[in-house]
Amino acid sequence: MGKPLTQVTMKTLAEQLGVSATTVSNAYNKPDRLSEELREQILAKAKELGYCGPSAAGRALRSGKSGICGFLFGERVSRAVADPYAVVFLSGLSEAVEEHGGSVLLVRAPGEDEAGMQSLQRAPIDALVFSSGFVNHPAVELLRQRGVRIVGSQRAADGDWVAINDTKAGRLVGKHLHRLGHRDIVVISPDYQHAGGPEFEYSPDHQHPMLRPGTYERDRVHGLWEKMPDARIRVVSASHYSRESGRKAAAYALDVQDRPTAVVALSDVLALGVWDAARDRGLAPGRDLSIVGFDDIPDVGFLGITTVRQPIGEKGRLAGRLAMDPDYPERQITLPIELVVRSSTGPAPRMNK
Amino acid sequence: MGKPLTQVTMKTLAEQLGVSATTVSNAYNKPDRLSEELREQILAKAKELGYCGPSAAGRALRSGKSGICGFLFGERVSRAVADPYAVVFLSGLSEAVEEHGGSVLLVRAPGEDEAGMQSLQRAPIDALVFSSGFVNHPAVELLRQRGVRIVGSQRAADGDWVAINDTKAGRLVGKHLHRLGHRDIVVISPDYQHAGGPEFEYSPDHQHPMLRPGTYERDRVHGLWEKMPDARIRVVSASHYSRESGRKAAAYALDVQDRPTAVVALSDVLALGVWDAARDRGLAPGRDLSIVGFDDIPDVGFLGITTVRQPIGEKGRLAGRLAMDPDYPERQITLPIELVVRSSTGPAPRMNK
DNA sequence: TTGTAAGCGTTATCAG
DNA sequence: CTGATAACGCTTACAA
């Protein structure tokens, strides 16, 4: 009647009922390998003894699966969750993972310190999903070696991924802005590694630490450049994915003599900040300054910001499916994108020199 | 040189080196129980063979701890994360958990269906934290029985919790509004169980399904009532924690003949919606309509909404500590609160009847 | 400082 | 339909 002082296990249950542990296990996992009657009996006894089903640890050791999918994010949780893109992705991910009976573990990408790595190693995950960056992060490599299934968010020759064609996304924006007559662009790019200086001019040949090859940031900028090779493309860094950070970067870009006619933010949440900065200065988006973002998060639609839409939730959902189902046939998925033209872009104004 | 076709384990390593498995284990877990030299040797061999440290599953089974702290949330992740309160709490939580070398598992509270419960059972968690509601949720009881440490967010006679005094919070608001002359209040309360009707009048005796005893919602309303027993207090339900939902509920409350002079939203994110609804109708917050929220999330400071501040991040951090450290001495923690008066509250206007 | 032996709770395999 | 047996990979007494 009192609480069991010792752990109730399958063995306990089996002994009490005079059946084998296997049968108890089957009662939970393979109901059809068992007479209905016996099963009921076992379940009843379980309730009586306070046994609440197979232990997660035992099962994980024996079966080699924990049912947990790790979601890798940089820096602090608060930042990860401040970015609507990440939130929507995470929602889709967790939805798909739950459909497979699993759950999502929040995993902070460790620095080079051993402590963080250790903690990562302890995490019993079957798969690891990351939404961007981290492609060659040492932690990811370690986990891969360990047999953890890795699902990325960028196109690559091998491995599993769900991605969009970022170069194409950049081209869509370049074409649009070029047609509108823009020839002087500032790109706002997140620089979470703080590797870059405040500003530099993009050229496809010169490799800048802020726009490393293989990153989606570089692909987008490069696509942009492809469609407007005669334009001046400056890149300004934002410290991380947040509206406030975009505002600051835009302030830096706008408070100069030779103000650009258009600002392209590599992420919508930054574009929101650009919008704020423009309004602060009395610049009407779409007339005095064109603003473009990427991803199409809900808020930018509200403000009328032109953007390249991608199905973020679907991306997360598919990533979750790849993570939880090794037999899912398509392992490299490119999702469609689409330019959504809104009021924040318009013909390039003649700058009164 | 190629990838190992079979799992490399401690035993493998031990055999190759001619030492015992124990020693290998110690090399990872108790470096001081081992000569520096031997340890180096073992680690080197590990790298050579591609062994990446003790397996999480084995360790969890043997030691009985997984290092994982579950965070329970209702409904969909997207909703949980749409509420800034939850986000800040989660940030603090994950920070503390990481400090203890653990990580946070996102756990969706299952309905009554068996499938969801099953999935919850499979999760190898040492502790479960929930930010509100769920006090007597069957899933929580099940886990508790299973030996999972439960950390709640509401005061109770026993168990571990980190909370504020919600009745007192309500009183702070009641006193403030009463002094300002308000006698006709509408409370906006989330009703995630959809148990209530659209509106009812609060009385401490009559028990309404929307404001069940023991919930923080009821405590706040009751505290409010204590300080303004001569006022009319109507309660209107919002479907869940979101700005939009607050806006809809406020619209319902404001578009009537006998409009209240003040609206109290039981959560700041709802208060934001009330603010929107007021502006939609040309009502100046603080003059035509007083608005109060709870929690003091960043956005309400920006808009000048009066609220009851609580240290949300600290709450999450402490919850994480209780969850990960069974020896932490204080197991029931009440955090301080404070009324923050801003421009959204002012003297009750004379209603032109 | 190192090794031995036992077992954590489960499930796969194979035999009855 | 049911059961015996043998791992899964690791840690923890305790012994040397």
pLDDT band for B3, please (50, 70, 90 cuts): very low
Instruction: Give the residue on B whose Cα is nearest the Cα of A102.
Output: B119
Look up residue A213 and give its two tokens.
């090859």
CB A107 to CB B103 under 8 A?
A: yes
Instruction: For an interface test with B, give the residue of A7, A8, A9, A52 to mutate (most B CBs within 10 A).
Output: A52
Q: Which of A98, A105, A145 sits opposite B108 (nearest CB)?
A: A98
Using CA atoms, how far apart are residues B94 and A196, in angstroms rounded to an integer?
29
DSSP string computed for A37-66 = HHHHHHHHHHHHHT--SS-HHHHHHHHS--
Q: Which residues pair with B123 in a beta bridge?
A: none
Look up residue B36 and give its two tokens.
């520096």
Look up residue B234 and give its two tokens.
């109507």
pTM equals: 0.91
Is strand C less than 7 A from the beta carbon of B62? Answer: yes
CB A119 to CB B105 under 8 A?
A: no
pLDDT averaged over chain B? 90
Burial of A304 from C-beta contacts in 10 A (0-12 / 13-18 / 19+): middle
CB B59 to CB A102 under 8 A?
A: no
Specify the DSSP element, H or E, that contains A150: strand A149-152
Burial of B255 from C-beta contacts in 10 A (0-12 / 13-18 / 19+): exposed
Which of A63, A120, A72 is CA-nearest to residue A93?
A72
Q: Strand D: which positions are within 7 A of a protein CB?
A: 1-13
Which of A84, A90, A87 is CA-nearest to residue A270?
A84
Which of A66, A147, A122, A327 is CA-nearest to residue B6?
A147
pLDDT tens across B260-276, in order?
999 999 999 999 999 99
Burial of A305 from C-beta contacts in 10 A (0-12 / 13-18 / 19+): buried
Burial of B114 from C-beta contacts in 10 A (0-12 / 13-18 / 19+): exposed
State which protein residues have CB closer than 7 Å to strand D.
A 18-23, 26, 32-35, 38, 61-62, 64; B 7, 9-11, 21-22, 25-26, 28-29, 53-55, 57-59, 61-63
Which of B285, B337, B342 is CA-nearest to residue B172?
B337
What residue has its CA nearest to the C1' of C6? Answer: B62
Residues in contact with A88: Cβ distance below 8 Å, sequence separation at least 6, in sequence order: A297, A312, A313, A316, B78
- In A105-121, which positions are buried (b, 16+ CB within 10 angstroms) versus exposed (e)? bbbbbbeeeeebbebbb
**Contact yes or no for A292/A68 (Cβ under 8 A):** no
Instruction: Give the residue on A whose Cα is nearest the Cα of B77.
Output: A91
Q: Strand C: which positions are within 7 A of a protein CB?
A: 1-13
Looking from the CA of A38 toward its CB, the CA atoms found within 13 Å total 19
Q: A353 CA, D10 C1': separation in Å?
A: 73
Using CA atoms, how far apart are residues B13 and B25, in angstroms rounded to an integer?
10
Using CA atoms, how far apart are residues B123 and A330, in angstroms rounded to an integer?
28
Q: A267 CA, D14 C1': separation in Å?
A: 60
Taking only the tens of pLDDT, chain A with its 353 residues reads 344 446 789 998 888 888 988 999 999 988 888 888 889 989 998 988 888 889 999 999 999 999 999 999 877 777 777 788 888 999 999 999 999 989 999 998 887 776 778 788 889 999 999 987 777 788 888 888 888 999 999 999 999 999 999 999 999 999 999 999 999 999 999 886 654 557 888 988 888 888 888 889 999 999 999 999 999 999 999 988 888 999 999 999 999 999 999 999 999 999 999 999 999 999 999 999 999 999 999 889 989 999 999 999 999 999 999 999 999 999 999 999 999 999 999 999 986 54
Q: Which of A61, A78, A122 sits opposite B91 (nearest CB)?
A: A78
Instruction: Give the residue on B whose Cα is nearest the Cα of A76.
Output: B91
Using CA atoms, how far apart are residues A125 and B85, in angstroms rounded to an integer?
28
Look up residue A13 and give its two tokens.
């249950």
Tokens 């502006």 sit on residue: B279
**Contact yes or no for B302/B270 (Cβ under 8 A):** no
Measured between CA atoms, how close is A49 to chain B, in angstroms?
11
Question: Packing angle between helix B216-227 and helix B166-179, nearest 10 degrees?
Answer: 30
